[in-house]
A and B are shown apart, each in its own frame.
Chain A
Amino acid sequence: MIDSLIDKDWVEALWLILDFALAVLLLGLAAAAVGTRDLRRGIALFIAFGLLVALVWARLRAPDLALAEAAIGAGVSGALLLAALRDVPPSGLPSVGARGLPLWLLNLGSVTLAVLLGWALLLALAGSDGIRLADLALANLEHSGVSNPVTAVLLNYRAYDTFLELGVVLAAVLGVLALGPARRSVRPAGPVLNSLIRLLLPLLIVTGGYLLWIGATAPGGAFQAGAMLAAAAVLLRLGGDATAGLPGAVGQRWLLALGIAVFAAVGLGVSTGGGAFLAYPHDWAGVLILLIEAAAMLMIACALALAYLGGRPAGWTIGDREGG
């Protein structure tokens, strides 16, 4: 009895030390990533920062966020930043922060803002009655069609937000396509990378499918699954595949439209009986959510892969020959 109590205290103390170390590291990495003048170094630090944030989310018992942060915040964003870095001319970028407000003023402003925000947040948490939407969300979980509360919020209670977020993804891709033709293909990879890709590719695709499926009951979902597929596309591209595994331009257009189209079709379909837009019937909710998530996953993967290519792949411009 006493032994177990001591054990528990020890474990608590260890976690506390770990949390403290995480917090200090997080601040240190953030400061280093912002402070460095070397872009490559800054990106490496930023990726490390993202992984650490994922750990923090895990410690805060938000595994969905931890997964999303690791896959998208650190993984895909890191890959995009590194790809963008290759576009920097050898002469380098004009140095940042040389113009405008002096640095000390910016720092002072940021610190003041942070203190003010922290104070307001403390007041808000102390002054509120503690009633949040989480209890309500859990109470309605059995009517939502899924048992993972995060998925219930994203695809049922607040599905409209996610619906519009897919519009944000589409807008971002259309912005990327406006930039010009895609980056030139990299040279074919060596044998070591090639065999690694051969190993990783099926694993990534299966993981994506697993994350999509498990999203109904446990952490996972379309965004994380889409990021996995996009990672597969990035690997293919690094291996020398110019198309990054994407279908032809027409296929890409359909993939991009798919996520929103399926979402809208389901939303409208369930409202034909006189219900509200996106009001899934109880028995069908789980299936419909999976359908929407599958379409969204494909769209997100295609969008992220196109963003990695950094412009219009061959065949996008009308008049170009299809394929590439």
Chain B
Amino acid sequence: MTNLLVWPVLVPLLGGLATLLAPRLANPLGLACSLATLGAAAALVVVFADQGPMILALGGWAPGLGIALRADGLSVALLAMSSLVGLAAGVYATGYFADPDVRGRFWSLWLLLSAALHALLLSGDLFNLYVTLELLALVAVALTALGGGRAALEAALRYLTIGLLGSLVFLLGVTLLYAGYGTLDLVGLAGALRPEPVAWVALSLLTVGLLIKSALFPLHFWLPPAHANAPAPVSAVLSALVVKAAFYMVLRLWFDVFDPALTQAAANLLGVLGGAAVLWGSWRALRAERLKLLAAYSTVAQLGYLFMFLPLLLALPPGPSRDVAFGALVLLALSHGFAKSALFLGAGVIQQRAGHDRIADLGGTARALPVTTFVLALAGVALIGLPPSGTFLAKWQLLASAIETGQWLWLPIVGIGTLLAGAYCFRVLGHAFGPSDRVGAALAVGGEEIPALLLAITATVVLGLGAAGLWEFLALGTAFDGGSR
């Protein structure tokens, strides 16, 4: 039964091999495997809701000598989002690539990306986390290069260099921890860790490596070109899931492993960088000339909100108030994941229909592509944080926690960031509803608009109205406390 934990990794991995072997059947095979991956994730959700946290000691070796897979509320929730977004973007991608050769390679890489994400989310071992991070980075680079144009290759190369730098810094931290504490198992490390220079230097290295990968301001410079130049379904997943995987690792390492060694000053520093990311990313999004670039800068800003939670979480006493804030953080990550992938897929539809994604020339879109315009509006609701989206609840909780802990600095940042987000979303809608010289096409729904619509509805309505369930889900316990319950 515990082998349930390997299926979300194995199914997409084997699917990637199948599409490699039968490239002509890539579309049906890829879709079937995405669906099966979602099934594996759903099975994990069901069993988790029933039994609580799960552990799998791979190879039958005790964690420490061997590698353990662990699943708790955080990893299962993100895994469910990843497989849903992966499926939706995959459905969209079936019609996106005209060249069967590119389509075949897309599906192999796409399924490998799913496997890498799920392996990362379920890993309970520090070195194994490094391996999954490396796999994720390489697959993401190969996907960025898929377009094959000069701009895409340049962005991919920059992405590769930055990713390698991040991985190397992370690996240095891993080495240092192993030298100091003699184990790589996360739970074992958490038990052995003491607040001392070795732990602080290692934590700094691990965190810096992950900050590069999660594109926290001022290390965000590689993200906009990479995400804006990749094919639309790839951008959707890079922005919604891949950068969030690095953030997940920050969260995991900070609160489950390094808890005894944390200082409020370090968390404050990340919070300030997050705040700067919110302001700078939103401002650049407002000034962006292309829709995909706007979406990419908006990702920089939204990641900033996630990091602003860190100083609040640390200042709150462990217990109900911290759990509530933690749930809000996860809700924000999930909402952004669904909303941003919807936005990128919508931008992809516009780019393919209109031949460009210049915001100033979007006039007439509302008439020609009403569904996609609706998607942009819904995604905007979730990005700004209007009710009933999950983002609204999360930001509300962010403000409440800031007031509770007396960290007033975050209040104006959230306010300004939200106003800027409103401005850049309404700027797009304003142009989309604007007049156009062209005679509008008939009001028809293209099949390729449906996945984006479903994602946007999930972000805005489902996560907002069903948010209470998420807190219950997260409260089912952790698998990172030394033993499953």
Residue of A nearest to B141 (CB): A175
In A252-292, the 8 Å CB interface with B consists of: 253-254, 256-257, 260-261, 264, 267-268, 271, 275-280
Chain B residue with the shortest CB-CB distance to A285: B59
Q: How far is the CA of A128 from the CA of B196 in the complex (A)?
A: 12
Complex alpha-carbon distance, A167 and B138, angstroms: 10
**Complex partner residue of B67 from A129, A158, A171, CB under 8 angstroms:** A158
B59 with A279: CB separation less than 8 A: yes
Stretch at the interface among B14-22, B278-286, B287-295, B451-459: B14-22
Q: In the complex, which residues 392-412 of chain B have their Cβ closer than 8 Å to any Cβ of chain A?
A: none
Q: In the assembly, what is the distance between CA of A238 and CA of B24, in Å?
A: 33
Q: Which residues of B contact A84 (CB under 8 A)?
A: none
For A264, list chain B residues within 8 Å (CB): 10, 13-14
Q: Do A157 and B66 have beta carbons less than 8 Å apart?
A: yes
CA distance A316 to B102 in the complex (A): 11
Does B94 reach chain A (CB closer than 8 Å)? no
Known A125-B179, A133-B183, A160-B128: A257·B21 in contact at CB below 8 Å: yes
> At the interface, yes or no: A191 with Cβ under 8 Å from chain B?
no
Determine whether the beta carbon of A128 is less than 8 Å from that of B179: yes
Provide the bound-state CA to CA distance between A37 and B130, in Å: 33
A120 within 8 A of B: yes
State whether A168 touches B56 (Cβ < 8 A): no
With both chains docked as a complex, state the minimum distance between the C-beta of A290 and any C-beta of chain B, in angstroms.
Answer: 17
A95 to B131, CA, bound (A): 33
Q: Which of A176-184, A204-212, A219-227 contacts B (4 or more CB under 8 A)?
A: A176-184
- The answer to whether B202 touches A120, judged by C-beta atoms less than 8 angstroms apart, is yes
**CB-based contact A156/B105 at 8 Å:** no
Size category of the B interface is 35 or more
Expressed in whole angstroms, the Cα–Cα distance for A165 and B101 within the complex equals: 25
Whole-angstrom distance between the alpha carbons of A179 and B149 in the complex?
9
CA distance A77 to B101 in the complex (A): 28
Per a CB cutoff under 8 Å, which of A133, A175, A280, A318 touches B142?
A: A175
Nearest A residue (CB) for B197: A123
In the assembled complex, the Cα of A132 lies from the Cα of B180 at a distance in Å of: 9
Q: A117-B172, A171-B109 are in contact. Are A276 and B138 (CB under 8 A)?
A: no
| A275 nearest CB across to chain B (Å) | 6
Instruction: Report A57 CB to chain B, min CB distance, Å.
Output: 15
**Is A317 located at the chain interface by the 8 A CB criterion?**
yes
For the complex, is B65 an interface residue (Cβ under 8 Å from A)? yes
Q: Bound complex: CA of A168 vs CA of B160, how far in Å?
A: 13
Say whether B116 faces chain A, with CB atoms less than 8 Å apart: yes
Given contacts A120-B201, A178-B148, contact A276 B58 (CB under 8 A): yes
Of A121, A170, A254, A267, chain B has the most CB atoms within 10 Å of the CB of A170
> A159 on the interface (CB 8 Å rule)?
yes
Is the CB–CB distance between B60 and A276 below 8 Å? yes
Q: How many residues of A contact B (CB 8 A)?
A: 57
Partner of A128, one of B65, B145, B181, B184: B181
Q: Provide the bound-state CA to CA distance between A62 and B112, in Å.
A: 33
* Residues of A with C-beta under 8 A to B182: 128-133
Complex CA–CA separation, A171 to B401 (angstroms): 42
Let me know if A260 and B180 touch, CB within 8 A. Answer: no
Q: Do A117 and B60 touch (CB < 8 A)?
A: no
Q: Which of B20, B67, B116, B201 has the most chain A CB atoms closer than 10 A to its own CB?
A: B20
Flag whether A127 is at the interface (Cβ < 8 A).
yes
Cross-chain contact of B20 among A161, A164, A257, A271 (Cβ < 8 A): A257
B139 on interface, CB distance cutoff 8 Å = yes
The CA-CA distance from A264 to B141 in the complex, in Å, is 25
Closest Cβ of chain A: how far from B137's Cβ, in Å?
A: 9
Question: Any chain B CB within 8 A of the CB of A6?
Answer: no
Which A residue sits closest to B109, measured CB to CB?
Answer: A174
Q: A121-B179, A178-B145, A279-B60 are in contact. Are A165 and B131 (CB under 8 A)?
A: yes
- Contact between B65 and A164, CB atoms less than 8 A apart: no
Q: Measured between alpha carbons, how far is A137 from B14 in the docked complex, in Å?
A: 30
- CB pair B146–A277 under 8 Å, yes or no, is no
Q: Indicate if the CB atoms of B119 and A318 lie closer than 8 Å.
A: no
Q: Is B224 positioned at the interface, with any CB of A under 8 Å from its CB?
A: no
- Chain B neighbourhood of A25, CB < 8 A: none
Contact B135 A117 (CB under 8 A): no
Find out whether the CB atom of B138 lies under 8 angstroms from the CB atom of A278.
no
Interface of B is mostly: helix
Given contacts A164-B132, A174-B105, contact A157 B61 (CB under 8 A): yes
Least CB separation from B7: chain A residue: A277
Check: A195 CB closer than 8 A to any chain B CB. Answer: no
Measured CB to CB, the closest approach of chain A to B413, in angstroms, equals 29
Contact A124 B14 (CB under 8 A): no
Contacts of A165 in B (CB 8 A): 131
Complex contact A260–B17 (CB within 8 A)? yes
Q: Which of B57, B101, B139, B179 contacts A317 (CB 8 A)?
A: B101
A98-140 contacts to B, CB under 8 A, are 116-117, 119-121, 123-125, 127-133, 136-137, 140
**Could you tell me which residues of chain B, from 117 to 131, have a CB within 8 Å of some CB in chain A?**
119, 127-128, 131
With CB as the reference atom, state the residue of chain A lying closest to B10: A264
- CA A167 to CA B109, docked complex, whole Å: 10
Q: Let me know if A171 and B142 touch, CB within 8 A.
A: yes
A residues in contact with B179, CB < 8 Å? 121, 124-125, 128
Q: From residue B200, how far is it (CB to closest CB) to chain A in Å?
A: 9
- B64 close to chain A: CB less than 8 A: yes
Residue of B61, B67, B198 near A124 (CB, 8 A) is B198
Q: Is the CB of B180 within 8 A of A171?
A: no
**A279 neighbours in B (Cβ, 8 Å):** 58-60
Q: At the interface, yes or no: B2 with Cβ under 8 Å from chain A?
A: yes
Complex Cα spacing A79 to B403, Å: 60
Shortest beta-carbon distance, A251 to chain B, in Å?
A: 11
Q: Is the CB of B135 within 8 A of A318?
A: no
Q: Report if A140-B65 is in contact (Cβ < 8 Å); known contacts: A264-B10, A317-B101.
A: yes
Using Cβ atoms and an 8 Å threshold, which residues of chain A touch B321?
A: none
A117 to B197, CA, bound (A): 11
Q: Is the CB of A180 within 8 A of B148?
A: yes
Which residues of chain B have C-beta atoms less than 8 A from A34's C-beta? Answer: none
B129 vs chain A, min Cβ distance (A)? 10
B154 on interface, CB distance cutoff 8 Å:
no
Asked whether, in the complex, the Cβ of B176 is within 8 Å of the Cβ of A117, the reply is yes
Is B153 located at the chain interface by the 8 A CB criterion?
Answer: yes
Choose among B109, B128, B182 the residue with the greatest number of A CB atoms under 10 Å from its CB: B182
Report if B134 contacts A (CB, 8 A): yes
A-B contact pairs, 30 of them (CB 8 A): A117-B172, A120-B197, A128-B179, A140-B61, A156-B59, A158-B66, A160-B128, A161-B128, A161-B131, A164-B128, A170-B16, A170-B108, A170-B112, A171-B112, A171-B138, A171-B142, A174-B105, A178-B105, A179-B145, A253-B20, A260-B13, A260-B17, A261-B17, A275-B60, A276-B56, A277-B56, A277-B58, A279-B60, A316-B101, A318-B100
3 pairs of A and B residues whose beta carbons are closest in the complex: A175-B142, A124-B180, A279-B60
Give residues in A with beta carbon < 8 Å to B: 116-117, 119-121, 123-125, 127-133, 136-137, 140, 156-161, 164-165, 167-168, 170-172, 174-175, 177-180, 253-254, 256-257, 260-261, 264, 267-268, 271, 275-280, 316-319
Known: A171-B142, A264-B13, A276-B58. 9 other contacts (CB 8 A): A117-B201, A121-B176, A127-B180, A133-B182, A136-B65, A160-B58, A167-B112, A171-B135, A178-B148
